[in-house]
Amino acid sequence: MIEVRDLHKAFGAVKAVDGVGFSARDGEITGLLGPNGAGKTTTLRMLYTLMAPDRGQVLVDGIDAAVDPLGVRRRLGVLPDARGLYKRLTARENVDYFGRLHGLPEELLASRREALVKALEMDDIADRRTEGFSQGQRVKTAIARALVHDPRNVILDEPTNGLDVMATRALRRFMRQLKEEGRCVLFSSHIMQEVAALCDRIVVIAHGRVVADESPDALRAQTGESNLEDAFVKIIGTDEGLAA
Amino acid sequence: MTTTPPKTRRGAFLTVLLKEVKENLRDRRTLVSAFLTGPLLGPLLFVMLINLTLNRELDKAEKSLPVPVIGAEHAPNLVAALKAGGVVPGASVADPAQAVRKQDADVVLRIAPGYGKAWREGEPVQVELFYDSSQRDANTSVERVTQLVESYARQQGAMRLVARGLSPGTAWPLQVAKRDQATPQSRAVLMFAMLPYFFVITIFMGGMYLAIDLTAGERERQSLEPLFANPVPRWKILCGKLAAICAFSLASLLVTLLAFAVVGQFIPAGKIGMELDLGLHFAIHVLLLMLPLVLLLAALQSMVAAFAKSYREAQTYISLLMLVPIIPSLLLSFMPIKAQAWMYAVPLLGQNLGIMQLLRGDGVSAGQLGLCLAGSAAAALLAVLATVQLYRSEKLAISA
C-alpha cells in the first residue's frame, strides 16, 4: 500500500511536482499516466526516497518516508528510470549484489534469485556478463534485481520503454502475476494502450498535478469518450507529449 | 511474502567492498594501472636513470681522459705528469674556445710558448684551461685536469724551496683539512629526492580508475540510482567503495615496494660510496607512513570524481589532482629546508621528510612517526567526512 499526500518538489523556479496525491492499493495495478515531463519520474523518485519532497508526505505500508527512509526502501522493489546494470558482472551476480545489500541470508537469496530467473525466463542469459545485453535482457535483469528481496510494493518507472512486442507481453504477464500475488504494483507510462490493458486504477498527471484518479471505465464515463486515448487528451487538455 | 529482517548492519560494507573488488579485477585497464604501469614504471625508470648517472660518473673517474694540449713540446715534464694521472694528451687544436663550445673536447690545455724559458728562470708561468662550466657532463674532467696541474705545481714548488734550503711549509702557512660529515647513505639522498613521489604516484594510480568508476562511472552508467534505492545508508555504501579503492592502492604500493627492494640490488650505489637500503626495514616504515595517505587519497579522488558528470570529466579532474603530491617533492629538492617538527604533521610533506630520513639512514623517531600518522589521519578523516557530505546530495544519484 502506497499513499502519497500533496507532494511538492521544485528545481529552482521549475515546479516539477506541484501537489500530487493518490494511493496505490495492494492487489491492484496502479498506472501513473502522463505526458513526458509531467513529473512522473520525480514523483516516483520521492517515493523511493532518492529525493526529499519540499512538502507533502509519502507512506509505504504506513511507514513515513521522511521518518524511516530505510524502512520504506526495505518494503519497495524499484525499477528506476535508470536501469544501470554492472556490465562486468553476470546477471546472477547483479541480482546477488542487491540481495545482499538487502541483507538476505545466502540460502534464501539463492532460492529467490532462481525463482526470479525462472519467472522472467532468463535462464539462457543468467550467467552472462550484462555487457552487450539487449534492452529486453537488461530490463529483465533489472527487475529481477529489484524484486529479489520479495517486496510487498513494486514501483516500475516506464518498464516497457524500448521493449519489443514479445518482451512487452511477457512483462505485462509478469506484472499481472505480481498483482495476483497480492502485491501493490505502481508503474508509470505515457502509453495509453499499456495503461488500459493493465490498470485497475489510473492516476493521470499533467504539469505536476493529478488531473484524474479513476478506474479506466470511470475515466471513460467522466469524459464522455468511449476511447481511452481521447479521454486522456481531453483530461490533460492537450495531446502534447503523447505517444501511442 | 515476508519483509526481510533488518539485519543489514554488518553485511552492507563488506558486500559493497567485495563486489567492487570483484568487478574491478575483471577490468583490464584497472589491473594494468594498479599492478603494472603504476607500481613498476617508477622503479624501472628510477633504476635506469640512477644507473645511467652512476655509470657516467664512474666512467669519468676511472677511464683515461683525452685532452688536447696546445704547445705540449714546451713543457714535457708537465705533460708527463698529466700522463701519469691518466690523461692522454691529444693533438693540438686551432681554436680551443670553439673546440670546447662545440663539445669536441671536455677541456683543452694551452701552454704558452714562453713556458720553458720562464720555468728555467724560476718565474711564475701560466697554463690555460679551456672549458664550459655549463656542460655539466664535462665537470668531472675539468676537475681532474685542474687537480693534476695543481698538484704538479705544488710538488715543483716544494722542490724549489727545498733546493733553496727552505722548508716547504713556509709557502703554505695555512692548510685546510676538509672533514666531510656525509655518510654513505646521506650522499645517496641527493639522488633519491624524487623517491617519495614515486610512492605517492603509485598509490594514486592504483586507486585512480576505481575512484572514477565507483562514482562518476557508476553515475554515467546510471547504476547509482538503483543502488541508492537499497535499504543501506549512503555513507555505508561510500565506505565500502573507499575500502575497495584503498585495497587496490595498497596492493599497488606493496608491489612497488617489492619492486624497489628487488631493483635496489642492481643499483651500484656502493661503487660511488653510497649506501642504499630499500629492504624490509625500509619497506615496512614506508608502508606505515603511507597508510593514512592511502585513505586520504582515496577520499580526495572520490570527492573529485563525484563532482564530475562523466567518466571523462572525472579523468581530467583527477589528472590535475595528481600534480598536487609533486609539490612537496619539488619543494624539498629545490629548497633544502631544515625540517621542523610541525612539518611532519602536514600530509605528503611529512611522508616526504620521513622517507628521506629513512634513506639517510637516520631512521624515523616515534614522535615524528606519530605526528606524521596523526596529521595525515586527521586530514583523511576530514576528506572522508566531506565526501560523505557530498554523497548525501540529491543531485549525485541523478544521471540525466
pLDDT band at A130; cut points 50, 70, 90: very high
Q: Which residue of B has its CA nearest to A183?
A: B1
- Please report the pLDDT score of residue A243 as a whole number: 44
Tell me whether B12 touches chain A (CB under 8 Å): yes
Instruction: Tell me whether residues A82 and B11 touch, CB distance under 8 A.
Output: no
Of A189 and B334, the one with more pLDDT: A189
Instruction: Tell me whether residues B223 and A181 touch, CB distance under 8 A.
Output: no
CB A205 within 8 A of CB A41: no
- Please report the pLDDT score of residue A79 as a whole number: 93
Q: Give the C-alpha distances (Å, rounded to integers) separating A121 from A78, A144, A181.
A: 20, 11, 18
Q: How far is residue A217's CA from residue A196's CA, in Å, rounded to a whole number?
A: 10
Q: Which residue of A has its CA nearest to B393?
A: A51
Which one of B3, B23, B27 has the shortest CB-CB distance to A152? B3
Concatenating the DSSP letter of every residue in B259-278 gives HHHHHHTT--GGGGT-----
Please report which residue ranges of chain B form alpha helices under DSSP H. Answer: 11-25, 28-32, 38-62, 76-84, 96-101, 115-121, 139-163, 184-191, 195-212, 218-220, 224-228, 234-264, 280-307, 311-321, 326-334, 349-360, 366-391, 394-397
Nearest CA distance, B266 vs chain A (angstrom) = 40
Assigned C-alpha cell, B360: 639517510
Q: How far is residue B56's CA from residue B136's CA, in Å, rounded to a whole number?
A: 12
CB A63 within 8 A of CB B3: no
Tell me whether B224 touches chain A (CB under 8 Å): yes
Q: Which amino acid is at B167?
A: S
Instruction: Tell me whether residues A101 and B15 touch, CB distance under 8 A.
Output: yes
Q: Which residue of A has its CA nearest to B28?
A: A88
- Please report the pLDDT score of residue A5 as a whole number: 94
Q: How far is residue B296's CA from residue B322's CA, in Å, rounded to a whole number?
A: 13
Q: How far is residue A231's CA from residue A192's CA, in Å, rounded to a whole number?
A: 10
Torsion of CA B23, B235, A48, A129, to 10 degrees: 0
- Please report the pLDDT score of residue B114 as a whole number: 86
Could you tell me whether strands A76-79 and A153-157 are parallel, antiparallel, or unpaired per DSSP bridges?
Answer: parallel
pLDDT of A121 above 70: yes
CA angle B6, B12, B14 (to 5 degrees): 140
CB B201 within 8 A of CB A61: no
- Please report the pLDDT score of residue B61 as a whole number: 62
Poorest-pLDDT segment among A22-36, A100-114, A217-231, B234-248: A217-231
pLDDT of A17 above 90: yes
CB B74 within 8 A of CB B115: yes
Q: In angstroms, what is the C-alpha Rg of chain A? A: 18
Instruction: Tell me whether residues A50 and B230 touch, CB distance under 8 A.
Output: no
- Please report the pLDDT score of residue A244 as a whole number: 39
Phi and psi torsions of A233, nearest 5°? -60, -40
Nearest CA distance, A52 vs chain B (angstrom) = 8
Q: How far is residue A196's CA from residue B143's CA, in Å, rounded to a whole number?
A: 96
SS3 at position B329: helix
Phi and psi torsions of B6, nearest 5°? -80, 55
- Please report the pLDDT score of residue B103 as a whole number: 83
B345: nearest Cα among B385, B289, B301, B295: B289
Sole residue written with cell 622517507 = B355
CB A144 within 8 A of CB A121: no
Instruction: Tell me whether residues B232 and A101 touch, CB distance under 8 A.
Output: yes
CB B245 within 8 A of CB B24: no
Q: Give the C-alpha distances (Å, rounded to integers) separating A212 from A5, A190, B259.
A: 15, 15, 70
Instruction: Tell me whether residues B226 and A98 touch, CB distance under 8 A.
Output: yes
Which positions in chain A touch B234 (Cβ < 8 Å)? none
Q: Give the C-alpha distances (Å, rounded to integers) separating B2 from A79, A92, A95.
A: 20, 22, 18
- The DSSP 8-state label assigned to residue B213 in this structure reads I
* H or E stretch covering A180: helix A165-180
CB B196 within 8 A of CB B256: no
Nearest CA distance, A221 vs chain B (angstrom) = 37
- Please report the pLDDT score of residue A27 as a whole number: 94
Instruction: Tell me whether residues B5 and A52 touch, CB distance under 8 A.
Output: no
Residues in chain B with pLDDT values less than 70: 1-10, 56-62, 182-191, 269-275, 333, 336-337, 399-400
Which one of B4, B27, B226 has the shortest CB-CB distance to A102? B4
Q: Which residue of A has its CA nearest to B27?
A: A88
Concatenating the DSSP letter of every residue in B332-352 gives HHHS-PPPPGGGGGSTTHHHH
Of B2 and A32, the one with more pLDDT: A32
Task: Give ipTM to 2 decimals.
Answer: 0.90
Phi and psi torsions of A7, nearest 5°? -75, 140
SS3 at position B378: helix
- The DSSP 8-state label assigned to residue A39 in this structure reads S
Q: How far is residue B286's CA from residue B196's CA, in Å, rounded to a whole number?
A: 9
- Please report the pLDDT score of residue B271 as a whole number: 66
B314: nearest Cα among B172, B212, B241, B164: B212
Which one of A52, A75, A79 has the shortest CB-CB distance to B3? A75
Assigned C-alpha cell, B107: 677541456
SS3 at position B126: coil
Percent pLDDT > 90 in chain A is 64
Chain B interface disruption, residue of A54, A76, A97, most B CBs within 10 A: A97
* H or E stretch covering A194: helix A192-198
Q: How far is residue B119's CA from residue A224's CA, in Å, rounded to a whole number?
A: 130
CB B390 within 8 A of CB B305: no
- Please report the pLDDT score of residue A179 as a whole number: 95
The packing angle between helices A165-180 and A135-147, to 10°, is: 10
- Please report the pLDDT score of residue B272 as a whole number: 61
Instruction: Tell me whether residues B224 and A73 touch, CB distance under 8 A.
Output: no
- Please report the pLDDT score of residue B241 as a whole number: 95
Q: How far is residue A229's CA from residue A219's CA, in Å, rounded to a whole number?
A: 10
Phi and psi torsions of B180, nearest 5°? -75, 120
Average pLDDT, integer, range A205-219:
85
How far is CA B366 from its chain centroid? Answer: 24
Average pLDDT, integer, range A68-89:
92
Instruction: Tell me whether residues B23 and A89 touch, CB distance under 8 A.
Output: yes
Instruction: Collect all residues with Cβ–Cβ distance below 8 Å to B354 and sequence separation of at least 6.
Output: B285, B289, B344, B364, B368, B369, B372
Q: Which residues lie across from A185 on neighbouring strands? A: A29, A154
Cα-Cα end-to-end distance for chain B: 34
A132: nearest Cα among A80, A81, A91, A82: A91
